[in-house]
Structure 1
Amino acid sequence: MANWKCGNCGYELVADQPPEKCPSCKEKCEFLDNTCYTPDCEYEGKDPRIK
């Protein structure tokens, strides 16, 4: 599963794929994959450097 962050409101969720509409702002937004792929954030599951 990946971590996704709404590019509009910042809502985050864990899912295989991002939703069509954001559950928080109810808009069709671009979702950023902020899943951690490096050892320095592997325990958090998401990369805090991706805003």
Structure 2
Amino acid sequence: MANWKCGNCGYELEAETPPERCPSCKEACEFLDNTCYTPDCQFDGKDQRIK
């Protein structure tokens, strides 16, 4: 499962695909995939460098 972050309000969720509207700000936002793909963040599961 991937981690997604709302480009508008920063809300994060785990889902196979991002929703059309953010559950937090209720806007049709761009969701950024902030899933960890490198060993330095493998334990958290999220790449904190993505803001």
TM-score category (smaller protein): over 0.9
Deviation at 1:39, TM superposition (A): 0.3
Deviation at 1:31, TM superposition (A): 0.1
Aligned to 1:48: 48
RMSD: 0.3
Map 1:1-51 to 2 at 5 A.
1-51=1-51
Deviation at 1:22, TM superposition (A): 0.1
TM-score, length-scaled by structure 2: 0.98
Structure 1 CA distance for aligned equivalents of residues 22 and 50 of structure 2? 18
Moved over 4 A (4+): none
Q: How many residues align?
A: 51
Structure 2 CA distance for aligned equivalents of residues 27 and 34 of structure 1? 19
Q: Deviations over 1:1-51 (max 9, x none)?
A: 000000000000000000010000000000000000000000100000111
Structure 1: segments with no counterpart, 5+ residues: none
